[in-house]
Amino acid sequence: MRRKQIVVASLILSAIVISGVVFFFLQSTREPVYQGKPLSVWLKGYDTSNMEELFKNNGAKLHELDKIVSQVGTNAIPTLLRLLREEDFKGHNEDSNGQKASNGFRVLGANAKDAIPALIKIYEQNPPARVDVLYSLGCIGPAAEGAVPWLLQRLTDTNGKERSWIVEALGQIHAQSALVVPVLINCLDDSNSKVRVDAALALGEYGTNAKPAVPALIELLNDKGKGVRNSTTLALKMIDPEAAVKAGLK
């Protein structure tokens, strides 16, 4: 009889432990709720298919959404990562999951640095989400320094569109100048004009650390593309104002 009681007690204890583990798991994975609505519902507001609605009254709606994500804080990260994982070609449009997620990372900025390994994994596993992942990494800024070597590797095997986003992310992170600046200088010769634009702007983010790029930037002032010339002018002024004046820039 006593043995039976011990067995029953053990089973009850096991059930309690298992229930506790399940409860903890559900609590840790449950989507954050704000004012009675799941976070993903609020994130739908980032739909830029109606830009007028999002930015009217000095961007009142955009500021409201940003405030919500900011208040949810890092608890929003699991939801943002899930949306990126669920991004697909059919949903890759102005109202895509990736767009909602990347706006969330824009708000979190450096606070989302712990999400970097997961973002890299999503990039590798879900091609439709790649642009949004790159944008998100850039939004994390200097705190994403650990992703720099990986970003540099990706430059060699991507199309022009992705190269452009990688270069932009490198500029936003603006870290490890000894590694990145020479690569960005090479990107000034890229066949894609958007890459050249973003490479010049990215070099500008490095400030005086990008002085080795000055000769190449001065040469780029003769580029056929107006956008390239404008971004180059801005970069030179940020990197070496004296050299910019000598090059005839006002």
Residue keyed to tokens 């895509």: 96
- pLDDT category at 174 given cuts 50, 70, 90 is very high
> What span, in angstroms and rounded, lies between the C-alpha atoms of 88 and 90?
6
3-state secondary structure of 34: strand
Domain contains 138: no
Domain contains 7: no
DSSP 37: E
> What span, in angstroms and rounded, lies between the C-alpha atoms of 115 and 117?
6
Domain contains 240: yes
237: CATH: 1.25.10.10
pLDDT tens per residue, range 4-22: 544 444 444 444 434 433 3
Which residue from 100, 109, 56 is spatially nearest to 79, judged by alpha carbons? 100
pLDDT tens per residue, range 53-82: 777 878 888 999 999 999 999 999 999 999
Domain contains 59: no
pLDDT of amino acid 50: 66
In Å, what is the CA distance from 165 to each residue of 105, 169, 196? Answer: 15, 6, 11
pLDDT of amino acid 1: 53
Looking at the predicted structure, is the pLDDT value of residue 91 above 60? no
> What span, in angstroms and rounded, lies between the C-alpha atoms of 238 and 222?
19
Pair 101, 92: CB distance under 8 Å? no
How many structural domains is the chain composed of? 1
Domain span at residue 238?
A: 176-250
Looking at the predicted structure, is the pLDDT value of residue 93 above 90? no
In Å, what is the CA distance from 159 to each residue of 47, 162, 187? Answer: 26, 5, 13
The token pair that represents 110 in the structure block: 């450096």
Domain contains 210: yes
pLDDT of amino acid 61: 87
pLDDT tens per residue, range 200-218: 999 999 999 999 999 999 9
Domain contains 211: yes
Domain contains 213: yes
Looking at the predicted structure, is the pLDDT value of residue 229 above 90? yes
- pLDDT category at 167 given cuts 50, 70, 90 is very high
> What span, in angstroms and rounded, lies between the C-alpha atoms of 34 and 2?
51
All residues at 6 or more sequence positions from 79 whose CB lies less than 8 Å from its CB, including other chains: 31, 32, 39, 40, 43, 104
The token pair that represents 171 in the structure block: 């500029």
Pair 46, 103: CB distance under 8 Å? yes
Domain contains 44: no
- pLDDT category at 3 given cuts 50, 70, 90 is low
